[in-house]
Amino acid sequence: MDFDREQPIMQHISIDEAPTGDFGAGVDFRTLTGPLESTEMSIHRFRLDPQSSPPWGLHAHFDQEEVFIVTEGSVTFETFDGLVTVMAGDAIQFESGEYQAIRNDGSDSSTYLAIGAPADSTDIRVPLPCLDCNREELRIEVDTGELACVACDFRQDPRCELCGADEREVRLNREGSELIDRCRGCGSQTGIRPRT
């Protein structure tokens, strides 16, 4: 067997030196996808302070399967089936199209890896109602950030109506019984519907 020694066989990086992203207070994000030259899957490391969460709320990737591996502490996933707590040393998988959001409800920091395949996801949806036809599934337009109804293609501004911040997210209430539309900027929230 002839091996081409000019081509790298593997990539190796320090996670602490990986590129970061701004996901707000309490969230340390590191992307490993580019530095590892991964083409078939996305790989990210998150560290969440106690009582924090990444900013996007309940969402589903309709073109990507996701696996989360908790390496430190515990995290709680909000799903349409209820709340699921995942401890350090455990993993959880979501098929494409399954809605989920993650948060750290604990008093200690938590760390997890988020792995998605294929690497690029462009069909991301949130369970907000369309202002035109009232269907409860909007697609996030990756290029513009607009929300578009998957049924009628009506376009909506994703910003909070009260403060104008681009920080709206759909979450379950703490009991996990109701979907709420919440603004991380001003704290306003509106009930969407009971979780079914």
pTM, entire model: 0.89
Domains in the chain: boundaries: 15-117, 160-196
Q: Does position 65 have pLDDT exceeding 90, yes or no?
A: yes
pLDDT at 17 over 70: yes
List, for residues 110-169, the tens digit of each pLDDT value: 999 999 999 999 999 999 999 999 998 999 998 888 899 999 999 988 889 899 988 889
Residue 176, both tokens:
């996990």
| pLDDT score of 2 more than 70 | no
Q: Which CATH superfamily is domain 15-117 in?
A: Jelly Rolls (2.60.120.10)
Does the pLDDT value for residue 105 go beyond 80? yes
